[in-house]
Amino acid sequence: MPQKETYDLIVIGSGPGGYVAAARASQLGMKVACIEKASNLGGTCLNVGCIPSKVLLDSSEYFYQAKTEFAEHGIKTGRISLDLATMMARKEKVVNDLVKNVQSLLERSKVTIIRGAARLAGGREVSVSGGDDGATETVLTGEAILLATGSTPTSLPGITPDGDRIIQSSQALSLKTVPKHLIVAGGGYIGLELSSVWARLGAKVTVIEMLSQIAGTMDNQVARNLLRYLSKQGISFQLNTRVTNVKTTKSNVKVDILSKEKEDSIEGDLLLIAVGRKPNTEGLGLEAAGVDTVPNTGQIAVNASFETSAKGIYAIGDLIPGPPLAHKASAEGKAVAELLTGLPAEINYNTIPSVIYTAPEVASVGLTQDEAKQKDMPICVGTYPFAGTGRARCLNQIDGFAKLITHAKTDQLLGAHIIGPRASEIIAECVLAMEFAGAAEDIARTIHGHPTFSEAVQEAAVLATECTVARGPGKD
């Protein structure tokens, strides 16, 4: 007979949504279990996603700067060489340290950590298969069950990654040597970040994107400039192009492409497929448990309280509609824990920032200029270049600009789009302003430190406010 245990909340998955939910629920007095089938806690983000990619982005940027920029600062380094093994070892250490932090957080919060593969067993029960042979079974009963299993990479139709010549993001984070020619299918944030890593380390990189622009969800003006900056760094782009076939040998990969009815082929030593992600629901037993999914996407349908069609079963993060972002999952996990304990919780999906950690960085929140126009909203746009700020000049990081979009009648901030140094940090000011329904004038009148990168946002706010004043109330 399988062993049975009872909890107030059972969380399936220990990623940024799951572990935050488990810790918060326990802190609020619930008896909580967190189930994880992988060897490490932390999910995709911590182990093979957000964290290791940022470690390699930072390390590769230092290497690139040492080769191309230090001399201009009067720093003589001699011949620069790459020790990829040491770089990868540092990445693993950062990941392992953070994995230990997650485990420590859950243990301090008195969350029971259960290792194994979870499956909904009907009602409020979860079956957990553990052990090397998967034969050991534990049955848990929960007043509530939270699904937080994240997502997995998708592939191209008819093309199966082999982990050798055709790889996905997790393998691209652990290569033993720098590829001579890396072909990347997908110009979204994952493809662009990994392209940046390997291009900086010396690889020839070709990005194939089926859309007319890279970073498709970003503001068009920002995306166009990002394309220009990355092209200057040596990354080649094939837009309006799709992969039709892939052939591999022991030493290379041949990628057939179709662009405007013109067929061609590209040869390289690796093809990285970075065309998106899908909900990780395999083996969860959704159908048997009565959990409905969204047609065509496979995402789990939830109500405003994150409850699925099966009473008492909740879902968050990449499993449900919305952008596949770690910080979105964390916010939802915290919200579920608070709702289950009777506290008010609400998420403003209009103020969730998105970031691409290329150089320059790209960060965005709220409406793009095109989206505002499609809604027939009267808008003002304030744009200010980083080249106009003293701090950017000091560091010789002058590419990019800050762009604010406001309502032309009220000056309320509708969106912010930043491409430039430290954009990932600067965007928080705009997010906060939008959370408080603030106006561009609020940012413009706030005293910013000098010299700082954030002054570009302040100057963009000044220009947006001047536009609103010039147009006057009621003018479209």
> Among all residues, which ones are annotated catalytic?
450
Report how far apart, in Å, the C-alpha atoms of 62 and of each of 193, 200, 376, 437 are: 15, 9, 44, 38
Detail the DSSP E strand segments found in 274-427. 277-279, 313-315, 354-356, 361-366, 379-385, 401-407, 413-420
d(CA 418, CA 432): 15
Residue 272 contacts residue 181 (beta carbons within 8 Å) = no
> What are the structure tokens assigned to 367, written together?
């409406």
> What are the structure tokens assigned to 12, written together?
């399936």
Q: Identify the sign of the CA torsion 364, 215, 273, 92.
A: negative
State the virtual CA torsion across 88, 90, 92, 97 in degrees, nearest 10. -170
d(CA 414, CA 131): 52
> How many Å is the maximal CA-CA distance in the chain?
76
d(CA 331, CA 232): 37
Residues whose CB falls within 8 Å of the CB of residue 106, separated by 6 or more in sequence, listed in order: 14, 19, 22, 23, 34, 41, 113
